[in-house]
Structure 1
Amino acid sequence: MDAVIGVEELGLVFMKGEFAHSGFPEIAYSRYSEALIQKGYKVARVEQTETPKMMEERCRKMHRPTKFDRVVRREICRITSKATRTFGVHDGQLCDPEPSYLLAIAHKQESGESGSSISFGVCFVETSVGKFLLGQFNDDHFCSRLRTAVSHYPPVQVLYENDQSLPAGLRQVLEGPLHSVPREALRPWKEFWDAPRTLKQLREGNYFEEGYPEALGHFIDPEDSTHLTPREDGCLALKALGACVWYLSDSLIEEEVLTMRSFERYVPQETHIDRQANGDCKGSPIHLNNMILDGVCLQNLEVLHNASGGTEGTLLATMDFCCTPFGKRLFQQWLCSPPCRVKLIEDRQHAVDDLLTYSEEAKKTRELLQSLPDLERLLSRIHGQGLARKSASHPDQRAILYEDTTYNKRKIGNLLQALEGFRKAVKVAPLWADVLPSLTSHALMGCVSAGSKEEQFPDLTETLEFFENAFDHEQAKKEGRVTPSAGVDADYDEAMRRVKEADKALQEYLGQQSRHFRCKATYVGSGKHRFQIEVPESSARHATSAHELHGQRKGFRRYYTDEVKQLAANLVSAEEAQEAAVKDIMRRIFENFDRRRAQWERAVRCIALLDCLLSLARYSGSLTDASCTPHFLPADSKPCLRVKAGFHPCLLQHLGAATLIPNDVSLGDPESCPPLLALLTGPNMGGKSTLMRQAGLLVIVAQMGARVPAEACELTLVDRIFTRLGASDRITSGESTFFVEVNETSAILRHATEHSLVLLDELGRGTSTHDGMALAHAVVKELAESICCRTLFSTHYHHLVERFREHSAVHLAHMACMVEDENEEDPTKETIVFLYKCAAGPCPKSYGFNAAKLAGIPQQVIRRAFEKSRHLEEQIQMRRAN
């Protein structure tokens, strides 16, 4: 019962009475509803939609009204969950800039001669900005593409079809990466619509009066002008869209979200190169626009979230210096998909240099941007407030709101907040006017110069001036109503003109009557009896048959004429039109603002881009002297990655350069043919995994366009980073530690190209020593000889190292250490000093007993283990000798 939930979750108090009853004032709805939503509840807002007088009128028209009819009508006006918040006037204000995606997943599994295949249709919806992301793709049995999608666009709520035959891969995704995300199973067809029904509902709803959005049209048969036939390769995407539209409709927000017309097509970057099917693909250029960072990579490198689910110590927390909420959202997408185009990367590098050179202008720009509200979400909010079709049918328009004035003030506040934000935004260009010719970055020049080109900031001067003079802002904020200035609203101006003309006609007619009666005539009366012509009794003798006596008082007579009745009717009609115009004027002001949405959105895109460039510059500037601008080699160069004295970017920010040990990474060379694969050994806790993560993060930072914490950095573009780091199982998915290892390794071997970067940490430790080493050997051989991609492969299998000691495609390296009080008989006497420095050659031992000692394992246990280890080694050597 909701009353009990309110008491238990919100700290409310039960009211007196036999039945459970608790409550709070209407004005506090936003605070309490948001608290319940954050706890995972769906909240329905019910409003009274008729007054007692309206109820009585309704009952009079009924033949036999029952006691249930004699209750004022109430309706559900909104159902809100974590994924369907629009932050309207009834809701709380969101301070968190992170998006909250609603995800619907449709699937189709087929079996063929080559085995089973699975296809997915996905629809991501961000209701706070009215954005749809729609896609359909084939996937492997591990659902790699789906995992990547939910990593780039993490949902807060998932919709799926209530089908008992969910594929095992999809179940693993739902119970793995999405295990903590609320899920809702929808009934097939009735709630989870198929593609034809989705298109039918969209057409009947008439949401796209100006034509279907291009991204949505991609999934519809172009030969069908009625837009009712899906393309064969778009059925699943439209099915996922249908589930979202039904859910938004059930939440009573589908009109305001769909009519934003903001649709984008989701296309997975990877082409899933299958070496077993396609053979060797070496020598082919990078065909991707963006680097692929799948869900495993984002998790292992802690790009967006750390192991605890927070952001502390992540690359996002390290590099994100954005000032605006919408800039932060764009920067997060940049991190998930760094560019794979040298021209774009170098233009960002030039932007960083420009912003660091003109630091005073950059500082003033940041100060301006810090004062901006979330303009992207405000545009969506104002769109909903100005939607004419919603005002005609939505139950909110019938609601009897006792805090209506408060809500109107909030609506006006949203508009004024947006206008003030854009007024501040236009001040950016003048800050850069003097230095504009000196800028070297095309992207930066577009952001800080006003013009008509798409990449330039739009000229908002005339538009802002129009809304500045459209109505009295202070009066509107104070009264919660808008009185437009002349020329702002045609309907209101026309209504005012009609009222003035009708009133003028009445006054002219009154003058005629004064002349006719030869005295001063006046209008008297109210309501239905307005505009009675009153004259002194002494002048009443001049009345004609056209004058109808309607009343009298001492010394005066009152008359009506057909002419005055008609003129009064004209005035009443004009006043009714005026009243209707005034009642709807606020919505039309919002609608007027929304008509210019393309212009506002262009401005938001420019500010978001500028904010991200400023963030890259701020991060680059924070590196002080221990940084360089990465040099990208031409596309036809041989793959290489060379970093001199590099630092882990996240650790550098937290610990400082004085605490950390810089390291070199050298994989490949554009001129000679050195090894592309480094086989890395070293003591436990010696820094192998950290070095590998460092290499991956430095590549991401480099391709983002920022400076990197290193003395020098030279590389060719990386199309994808693969990671196999750490050891963990997936209990909820029924996957053991070793299965996770080989599954991730399988993806590497099937999809890596010569342009990829592979980071493999201690492959094979999840199974027996012999099986693990054999697998590691085969994988190293495949990476070094067939795929030929840049690889860091760490291992404790020293026999594996010996086997590749003379291999021309493999370079041996280790994390150096010093051994104090070395003792061949008792490892507990030794002290290992980690140098955290990568050096050439293999490490003689892994010094695992030192890790055991540091962990507090009793010394007698360590000594027994050491004796057993030495005994096993002697046995192996004897077998080899024989």
Structure 2
Amino acid sequence: MAKYTPMIEQYLSIKADYPDAFLFFRLGDFYELFFEDAIQASRELEITLTGREGGGEEKIPMCGVPYHSVEGYLQALLQKGYKIAICEQVEDPKEAKGVVRREVVRVLTPGTVMEGKMLTDRESNYLAAVWMQDDSFALAACDISTGHFHATSVDSLHGLVGEALSYQPKEILICDSPCEQELRNHFYAMGIRAIQSLPSLEEETLARFVKSQFNVQDMNSSLLWKNVGMLLSYLHDTQKRTLGHIQKIDLYSSAEYMTIDHHSKRNLELAETLMDQSKKGSLLWFLDQTLTPMGARLLRKWVDKPLARQQNIEQRLDAVEYLSEKLMLREEIRSYLKSIYDLERLAGRISYGNANARDLANLKNSLAFIPLIKSLLMGAQDLPGGLEVLVSQLDECKDLVELIDGAITEDPPISLKEGGIIREGYDEYLDRLKLVSRDGKKWIAQLEQREREATGIKSLKIGYNKIFGYYIEITKSNLVSVPEGRYERKQTLANAERFVTPELKEQEALILEAEEKLTELEYQLFIDIRTQVARETVRLQELAKQVSSLDVLCSFAQIAQEYRLVRPEFSAEPTIAIREGRHPVVERVLTNESFIANDTLLDDSDQRILLITGPNMAGKSTYMRQLALIVIMAQVGSFVPAKEARLAVVDRIFTRIGAADDLVGGQSTFMVEMKDIQLMTTEATSNSLVIIDEIGRGTSTHDGMSIAQAVIEYLHHHVGCKALISTHYHELAVLEELLPGVKNYHMAVQEKENNVIFLRKLKRGATDESYGIYCARLAGLPDDIVTRAQQLLTGYKDSVAAPPPQEPTQNFQLDLFAGQESSDVKASEDPKRKQDKWLKELKEVDLINMTPLQALNFLHEMKQKLR
């Protein structure tokens, strides 16, 4: 290092402590980067790479950005997953002896952003920490911008990954884990680029972090608490300040919420669409009519974590029902919510110490609407219990409103060092300084007028700059009019001369002294006011919690009225019964046609698994998704798109819908499907809902059909869950005869003059047509291909020797609520006697261990004999 200049030596010394971060090194009005940081930053930020003499033989690579516009550059690096160390001058250059002292004042990472411009208003910004030790798995997650801190334990590696991903973290910390690479692969595949590895600290050190932050005295040495300590230590290392706004920790059990793995959330498009990862078209998009940023973030949390306890669900539904019926009350509340700023992040910035005067003004203006909302709700009749509790917890914060209103001007500037922040009357000494400053400037204006009259020079003016102070400026053409000895020459310009007088210099000293003291005093007074407000952070966070909950409940009530949703009924009976259910998102986007509603009945006896056949494009996937979405909406606390819905609480939802390769993991569509099904078969319970679309595809027909039958049998015999399973293996329809809990359904079609009309109606019974060639024609394949495919299909069908005949499609629909069947299929003579005889012979054969084709051939022979 001796070959470099002292400033470069200082840079290298600081950089050595932050080898994994870009070091933004403050030099005057710029942040500069050197060496490898400069080369990489110039490439990532697309800024010019230059060089600087640094004492060595070659120029040092260098690039830089202006300090006043640095946020955009920081945001660009953070979005790519980088870490940034901000190095500031911590010494006045005028007082420095040698190189100005510099220190890293903060380390920015994707999960520790506080600045408003770098955050998305309607999304949280979580940092998550995961730790695995022996058979224990712990998760901690913190959104530093709001102060939310959550922690839990889970019972498996997959559960740990799923729980972490439920927070959509911007950054993941992996704490001393033997499965670090496996965890990295999971998180990287989900699009998370900021993944940090942390070595474990001493248990006493971790305990000290937890006790000091949350005042926990009886902390045990469990992995959960150690993981919390690791996350806190990382926050303290990066933020380099106390984190006063993180005062509460939410310790929860995953059993409190419905479990939906990350792949199922994507398949169901809960928060974003599969096609373009856009919010529009997702369930969140349908549900979101929130009016505050914190309400939008809370809604996303609710959608990600539906409730799993009926009492809590009913409490939300009670509030939604009340607000949906009280149109005028709801609309008035929503009119006030529109004017409330982001209380959570305002409180966070105030406590963190980076809030400006405008933030305090916005807080005051927001708090002014709380008494109005509270008065409305307190005046309402027959509030349900949950809303009544919410109203009682609305803190009007009158003391804070009075403090801010009496101290901060109505429209304060963003800058804290330019004055104009503190209201007159708040501080007597400040008012005197303001008077001196105003009078001094008034005196300057009067002096300018006097000098013009004395000299006869109308263009004479008195100006000011930071270098020369106040001056009298006279153009060169008017210099002959200046009396001899009247002014003292100060500066010569190309077209003018500048002068001063003893009187002007004396007045300048008074004005500048007053303004310097004025600015400094205003700043100190503001810091004091901000500190007073910061002491009430917990109150503001609790208020934000109540306001955001009210915002989400009003949003649910709004969509219930707008889209004809009904309140779901929950009971202890293990039944899901839905009359005329609809897909909320598909129905909303339809413009030229009506959505075709369908019924659903799933119970724990003879209709646990619906095996759905039918053509592509007939609506199978939509129907299956809509059931899952209705269940999720209900357990989130929303009304549902149906005429009637009777539900049991579901503990887990698993879905396998659509083809998806895992290119990063090197897995084919079929392998991804098998992984998903492995998860379903090992983690589903009798209270779970499983949805598998096109089971067994991606391999040979015999392999796929065998796997499909084995999976259905396993879910039927061993898991006992409720399931919707669609397939193009029509041979599997025989399972209805073999498994008492399986029932065949199909999506109806109508054939007319070589055309197929998809009726999108679920009907009882199986079908043997997929209409794939018709779909190919709809997709626009050349006529030659479609015609040839039809010829080949006919040939394939004709070449099959004595194929087992398909059962005629039963053209009837189950009345789920009356428990009766209507049918236009003519019953054969004495069907009861034939059925008894058939079933008697079936009991003597081990059909369970047959392949589907063997079973079909056997049944075909039996039917031939019966005929």
Task: Calculate the TM-score normalised by the size of structure 1.
Answer: 0.70
1:261-660 equivalences under 5 Å are 261-269=247-255, 289-307=256-274, 308-385=276-353, 411-434=356-379, 436-439=380-383, 441-447=384-390, 449=391, 451=392, 456-470=393-407, 480=419, 584-624=524-564, 627-633=565-571, 635=572, 637=573, 639-656=574-591, 658-660=593-595
1:437 counterpart SS class? coil
2:786 partner amino acid: Q
1:166 partner amino acid: C
Gaps of 5+ in 2: 1-35, 54-58, 431-516, 805-852, 862-867
2:570 partner amino acid: F
| Cα deviation digits, residues 145-184 of structure 1 (max 9, x gap) | 1232133111112222577x5367535413433x443223
Note the C-alpha offset of 1:380.
Answer: 1.1
Give yes or no for contact 2:419–2:522 (8 Å, CA) kept in 1.
no
Aligned to 1:98: 123
Note the C-alpha offset of 1:608.
Answer: 0.9
1:77 counterpart SS class? strand
Aligned to 1:675: 607
2:186 partner amino acid: V
Note the C-alpha offset of 1:295.
Answer: 1.6
Note the C-alpha offset of 1:620.
Answer: 0.7
Shift of the 376–808 alpha-carbon distance from structure 1 to 2, 3 Å rule, reads: same
1:804 counterpart SS class? helix
Aligned to 1:719: 651
Rounded Cα–Cα distance in structure 2 between residues aligned with 1:780 and 1:15: 66
Give yes or no for contact 1:145–1:268 (8 Å, CA) kept in 2.
no
Rounded Cα–Cα distance in structure 2 between residues aligned with 1:268 and 1:849: 46
- Pick from 159, 163, 166: which aligns with 1:149? 163
Give yes or no for contact 2:144–2:246 (8 Å, CA) kept in 1.
no
Note the C-alpha offset of 1:700.
Answer: 1.2
Aligned to 2:109: 81
Rounded Cα–Cα distance in structure 1 between residues aligned with 2:756 and 2:278: 33
Shift of the 876–151 alpha-carbon distance from structure 1 to 2, 3 Å rule, reads: farther
- Pick from 169, 194, 198: which aligns with 2:206? 198
Shift of the 131–355 alpha-carbon distance from structure 1 to 2, 3 Å rule, reads: closer
Aligned to 1:124: 141
Note the C-alpha offset of 1:738.
Answer: 2.9
Rounded Cα–Cα distance in structure 2 between residues aligned with 1:342 and 1:240: 31
Note the C-alpha offset of 1:243.
Answer: 4.2
Note the C-alpha offset of 1:664.
Answer: 1.4
Shift of the 836–579 alpha-carbon distance from structure 1 to 2, 3 Å rule, reads: closer
Rounded Cα–Cα distance in structure 1 between residues aligned with 2:738 and 2:51: 86
Rounded Cα–Cα distance in structure 1 between residues aligned with 2:672 and 2:291: 39
Give yes or no for contact 1:9–1:36 (8 Å, CA) kept in 2.
yes
1:732 counterpart SS class? coil
1:146 partner amino acid: L
Aligned to 2:132: 107
1:757-796 equivalences under 5 Å are 757-796=689-728
| Cα deviation digits, residues 30-53 of structure 1 (max 9, x gap) | 333333333444333322221234
2:389 partner amino acid: G
Give yes or no for contact 1:155–1:181 (8 Å, CA) kept in 2.
no
1:862 partner amino acid: A
2:95 counterpart SS class? helix
Note the C-alpha offset of 1:328.
Answer: 1.2
2:306 counterpart SS class? coil
Give yes or no for contact 2:138–2:160 (8 Å, CA) kept in 1.
no
1:137 aligns with 2:77: no
Aligned to 1:166: 179
Rounded Cα–Cα distance in structure 2 between residues aligned with 1:161 and 1:346: 39
Rounded Cα–Cα distance in structure 2 between residues aligned with 1:41 and 1:771: 46
Percent of paired sites with the same residue: 29
Rounded Cα–Cα distance in structure 2 between residues aligned with 1:704 and 1:26: 45
| Cα deviation digits, residues 95-150 of structure 1 (max 9, x gap) | 432112222222235xxxxxxxx5333222212123332333331xxx32123213
Note the C-alpha offset of 1:853.
Answer: 3.6
Note the C-alpha offset of 1:757.
Answer: 1.6
| Cα deviation digits, residues 281-323 of structure 1 (max 9, x gap) | xxxxxxxx33222222211111112213221211001101111
Larger deviation, residues 31-40 vs 465-474:
465-474
Rounded Cα–Cα distance in structure 2 between residues aligned with 1:181 and 1:656: 40
Rounded Cα–Cα distance in structure 2 between residues aligned with 1:37 and 1:656: 41
| Cα deviation digits, residues 748-770 of structure 1 (max 9, x gap) | 23332332222122222233322
Aligned to 2:243: 257
Aligned to 1:555: none
Give yes or no for contact 1:194–1:239 (8 Å, CA) kept in 2.
no
Shift of the 244–754 alpha-carbon distance from structure 1 to 2, 3 Å rule, reads: closer
Shift of the 301–602 alpha-carbon distance from structure 1 to 2, 3 Å rule, reads: same
Rounded Cα–Cα distance in structure 2 between residues aligned with 1:152 and 1:691: 25
Larger deviation, residues 375-384 vs 748-757:
748-757
- Pick from 70, 93, 104: which aligns with 1:52? 93
2:79 partner amino acid: Q
Larger deviation, residues 314-323 vs 727-736:
727-736
Aligned to 2:491: none
Rounded Cα–Cα distance in structure 2 between residues aligned with 1:603 and 1:201: 27
Note the C-alpha offset of 1:381.
Answer: 0.9
Note the C-alpha offset of 1:698.
Answer: 0.9
Shift of the 734–168 alpha-carbon distance from structure 1 to 2, 3 Å rule, reads: farther
Shift of the 788–52 alpha-carbon distance from structure 1 to 2, 3 Å rule, reads: closer
Gaps of 5+ in 1: 57-69, 110-117, 222-230, 270-288, 386-406, 494-576, 822-829
Give yes or no for contact 2:773–2:786 (8 Å, CA) kept in 1.
no
Note the C-alpha offset of 1:860.
Answer: 5.4
| Cα deviation digits, residues 173-220 of structure 1 (max 9, x gap) | 13433x44322334x34xxx35444235667xxx44xx624xxx67x3
Give yes or no for contact 1:194–1:242 (8 Å, CA) kept in 2.
no
1:31 aligns with 2:56: no
2:757 partner amino acid: V
Note the C-alpha offset of 1:650.
Answer: 0.9
Rounded Cα–Cα distance in structure 1 between residues aligned with 2:183 and 2:80: 26
Aligned to 1:176: 189
Give yes or no for contact 1:195–1:238 (8 Å, CA) kept in 2.
no
1:173 partner amino acid: H
Task: Calculate the TM-score normalised by the size of structure 2.
Answer: 0.71
